[in-house]
Chain A
Amino acid sequence: MTGTEPRQPGPRRPRERGVRSSSAAGLQAERTLLAWQRTLILLFAVALLHLRDALQNGGAQPGDGAWYRLLPAMVLLVALGVLVVHLRRRWRTTDHGVHDDRTGRPPAPVARPWALVLVSAVSGVLAVGVAVSTLPA
């Protein structure tokens, strides 16, 4: 110990806490963003699964049935684009999930509440679409 680094518990403490909380903030918000990405990727995959079925059966028997199946998937793809844009924009404006200018703390929730409602509504629409597509057959 050369003593070149004098301990300064008083002044250092707030800054340490600030650094620690901001790095923890980055991790927490990033985990949440990754959860969003998993969810949206799964949503996309399930939509494609449903769409594939609609296109295959629609080719075999063209008619209104194909549109009933295509419509939920189209709505879903549009909503997916809206959600991706919203998440990207909010992630950038909050300095990669570290600092929200309006509140001075990490963004919580990462997406706005309407995005939560939108993603659940779209999943519900997809479920209804899957159920309806089987009923006439």
Chain B
Amino acid sequence: MAAGSDPSTGGVQTGDERSGGSRGVEPDYRFTLANERTFLAWIRTALALIAGAVAVLHLVPLDWHAGVQLAIGLALTGLAIVITVYAPLRWLSVQKAMRRGRPLPMSALPVITAVGVALVCGVVLIGSYWL
């Protein structure tokens, strides 16, 4: 173990612990943990969208047009699938950037999620006044 591997200031050479598999210096463990929590928050977002989809499609008795109901449910699950695919990739790219000391990459996912949820809200509004 290197003498200068103070977790609060420096890093540990990769090879000691590989958490993603790339070169560079392992970042402060608190940043790695924060990255992990961010990932988990994305997963919870996706799960909330899935729960909403299950509610719209199966549980709540809605007298909407069937097409509207199906569209909303599929939009919610589609959004959840996009998030669950993207979240680990995002985690990995952030981890790599932190190891190499680069600025964190921008992500389109918050915009996609916000626009998607806004669209669903709009359709719900239209659907509940339509029928």
User: Which residues in A have some Cβ–Cβ distance to B below 8 Å?
Assistant: 17, 21, 24-25, 28-29, 31-32, 35-36, 38-39, 42-43, 45-46, 49-50, 53, 57, 100, 102-113, 116-117, 119-121, 123-124, 126-128, 130-131, 133-134
CB pair B12 A46 closer than 8 Å: no
Please provide the chain B residues from 42 to 56 with a CB less than 8 Å away from any CB of chain A in the complex: 43-44, 46-51, 53-55
Closest to A111 in B: B36
Which residues does chain B contribute within 8 Å of A123, judged by CB atoms? 43, 46-47, 50, 80, 84
> How many CB-defined contacts (below 8 Å) exist between A and B?
138
Q: In whole angstroms, how far apart are the Cα atoms of A104 and B54 in the complex?
A: 45
User: Which residues in B have some Cβ–Cβ distance to A below 8 Å?
Assistant: 1, 5, 7-8, 12, 16-17, 19-20, 29-30, 32-37, 39-41, 43-44, 46-51, 53-55, 57-59, 70, 73-74, 77-78, 80-81, 84-85, 87-88, 91
Q: In whole angstroms, how far apart are the Cα atoms of A54 and B83 in the complex?
A: 24
For B54, give its contact among A32, A38, A53 (CB under 8 Å): A53
Please report whether the interface of chain B is mostly helix, strand, loop or mixed according to DSSP.
Answer: helix
Query: Would you give 21 A-B contacts (Cβ < 8 Å), ordered by A?
Result: A39-B40, A39-B43, A42-B44, A43-B47, A50-B54, A53-B58, A103-B17, A106-B7, A110-B36, A111-B36, A112-B19, A113-B20, A123-B84, A124-B80, A124-B81, A124-B84, A126-B47, A127-B84, A130-B54, A131-B78, A134-B73
Which residues does chain A contribute within 8 Å of B74, judged by CB atoms? 131, 134
CB pair A127 B12 closer than 8 Å: no
Tell which of A100, A117, A127 has the most Cβ of chain B within 10 Å. Answer: A127
Which residues does chain B contribute within 8 Å of A100, judged by CB atoms? 17
Q: In whole angstroms, how far apart are the Cα atoms of A21 and B20 in the complex?
A: 24
Q: In whole angstroms, how far apart are the Cα atoms of A116 and B90 in the complex?
A: 12
Which residues does chain B contribute within 8 Å of A36, judged by CB atoms? 40
Q: What is the minimal beta-carbon distance from B47 to any residue of chain A, in angstroms?
A: 5
